[in-house]
Structure 1
Amino acid sequence: MKLINRLFAPVAGLVLLLTPLLAFAQTATLKIASPQRGSWEGAIPELGQQAGIFRKHGLELEILYTAGGGETLQTVVSGAVDVGLSAGTLSVMGAFQKGAPLRIIGASSSGSPEVFWIAKADSPIKSVADAAGRTMSYSTSGASSHIAVMRFIEQFKVAAKPTATGSASATLTAVMTGQVDMGWAVAPFGLKEIADGKVRIIAYAKDIEAVRKQTSRVQIVNTDVLTRKRDLIDRYAKAYDETLDWMYSNEDALKRYLAFSGFDEAAVRETLKNFIPKWSLQTQSVNGIDEAMEDAVKYKYLTKPLTKEELGVLIQTQPFNK
């Protein structure tokens, strides 16, 4: 018996060692809605998949690119995708209060340092204070850029005209062709045009104090998806964070992003240096919840603030609330 034990002990140890690998031998697929194809934040699933990080966690991603957070929210509510990135926090809270089957599994962006508004270089508009009667764009209804426009109008007490213009690339075209007076942008979109003197920045989202303190965009899943695929969502969250660490520490990530996005290298390096610090993309903490709910009530996304119990159900950040 001792001889048998000695013979089989190494085999048993090998089985234990390989068990996690065997569990991921069959990769599972998750459908992801990511906004603004080409943006640094929206490229996290794409770059992580290219680098093999999600596959290491037993996942294959099918990535759908949307025009903004409002569209992302709709795809998750309908069950068309499993995970939605960068959905506007206020919109998510409002949809949840109305009974939408949603859960927040992580933050996407906090402080919004990368979001700004541009006007043509020859425009008479110098700041939001000059925006009376002018169009000021956002991506889609309910997106974080939409909330920021409404905050600008309130803060500067100026009768600008909120206008949906879709993706950042479409908005840049709308600004250049005079279809909109002030277009929203997210770095590195627009930075080359700024450097070339074609457009200029007239406002930053971080100019609004409330924005600086809040998580403006979150990652969401359909409640049914979280119930049926909790293990996959757990793996996804780990792979996402691992990808984020890699993107801020490895030049290969920058090379892959340049090839994927087509952006000028100087604009991307400026983006990482001055617009998107790693802390702004942290996933663990949804910040400024009380202030966000105040805004949500003010802008009629919520009829009343969510209770502590409701927030405990809605926000399922890692490690998942039980």
Structure 2
Amino acid sequence: MKRKNVKLMMLAALFPMLCWAAGEQPISLGTPTGEIQGRVMLPDVERPPVVLIIAGSGPTDMDGNSLLGAVTLKNNSLKLLAEGLARRGIASLRYDKRGIASSAAAGKEEKDLRFDDYVADARGWIELLSEDSRFSGIFVVGHSEGSLIGMLASEGNAKVKGFVSIAGAGHPAYEIIETQMSNQPAEVRQLVKNINDSLRAGKAVNDVPVGLMALYRPSVQPYLMSWYRYDPREVVACLEQPVLLVQGDKDIQVSVGDAEALKAAQPQAELHLIENMNHVLKSCDTVDAGVQQATYTNPDLPVVEELLNVIEKFIKP
């Protein structure tokens, strides 16, 4: 009996090593509407910190690629981010948002989707990671719209040790939309503002002009109402964890001013501006949209090394 107990103790001691395998592994999160699929990237070290990587807006998958009609914008930005962190001894979990790519089955009808669904999913992943003894601590990294999702998932969550915003908006969605419409005729700008004001008040708009139907179609209005509730400046101000704000100065989708707005709202946050980094985390020395387009469709371009360095320093000071 004594010899048998010794063997069991040896197996127990070896078990963590037998289970650990550096590389990429599939993982899934069960939700009431179906499973969300993800990938865990494991470095060649035991009990590393792990980051939950949250993708940005639209049909963006876990690798940072988007399908726009028949065109795929494949840049692998988030996959390259995960691989770069793994080389620095940091694990990661990235996932296809509900309704996107391998998580398509978990999608809801557009009229039923809410911004808070994405936040709940992120919280679900954090809970799952917190139960995994392979990791020493959880950090959240949100890119673009994923920044606000990550902030909300981290707010009041003691399981999150730190939050990183990459190219996160510093203004609420309705302000961003109105800014994007600033070059339209005054009549259109006023229509947009009127619709936004109504949605912010929780009132649906039935008489949307044909020219604005793609943006404000009835089925998407409930989602917009749920999204408009949040001002990133107010949310980041509530975070009690250490916060790192990262912004590229060649980003043509989110400005340095957005990062500065978040910093002003959360003075304790660390702000790092990266020279010649664009929205897909690649090096580009111009804000010319035509030139930048090539970086959005080139998965062979690496992500900016400085980005990996500042995240590593934040997670492993």
Which has the larger helix fraction? 1
Higher relative contact order, chain-length normalized (CA < 8 Å, sep 6+): 1
TM-score of the two chains, using structure 1 as the length reference: 0.33
TM-score normalised by structure 2 residue count: 0.33
